[in-house]
Amino acid sequence: MEEKQARAELRHARISARKVKIVIDTIRGKNAKEAVAILKYTNKAAAPVVEKLVKSAMANAVNNHNMDESKLYISEIYANQGVTMKRIMPRAKGRANRIRKRTSHITVVLKEA
């Protein structure tokens, strides 16, 4: 029998994957409720985004897969680079610089302990 798992994905999050990876490394393998508590007090731009995603995965687990919320833990969490939006910033003497606005795809997978 396959082990039950619940997942949540956020695609095209307007924050670079590099910044998200710092935050997700702190909660990998932890209990889901503990992870939400850690993220609540993490002072990084990616923390609220990841917190919302973990809460969404918990809701998916409880409502769609009939899993016990107290037994959930983060079995997988990763952030991959998404599409990069390219913008132009005017510079002196008619030149232009390229601005790269990076995005990321974040995935959380929860399992029951």
Burial class (CB in 10 A: 0-12, 13-18, 19+), 109: middle
pLDDT at site 82 = 97
Domain at 19, CATH number: 3.90.470.10
Q: What confidence tens digit (pLDDT) does each residue in 34-76 have? A: 999 999 999 999 999 999 999 999 999 999 999 999 999 999 9
pLDDT at site 1 = 54
Boundaries of domain holding 82: 5-112
Please, are residues 14 and 101 in contact by the beta-carbon 8 Å criterion? yes
pLDDT at site 104 = 98
Q: What is the mean pLDDT of residues 10-16?
A: 97
Q: What confidence tens digit (pLDDT) does each residue in 80-110 have? A: 999 999 999 999 999 999 999 999 999 999 9
Q: In the chain, what is the straight-line distance between the N-terminal and C-terminal CA atoms, in Å?
A: 15
Coil, helix or strand for 112? strand
Selection from 97, 99, 102 nearest residue 84 by Cα: 102
Looking at the structure of the chain, the number of domains it has is 1
Q: What is the mean pLDDT of residues 2-9?
A: 90
Q: In angstroms, how far is CA 9 from the centroid of its own chain?
A: 8
pLDDT at site 113 = 84
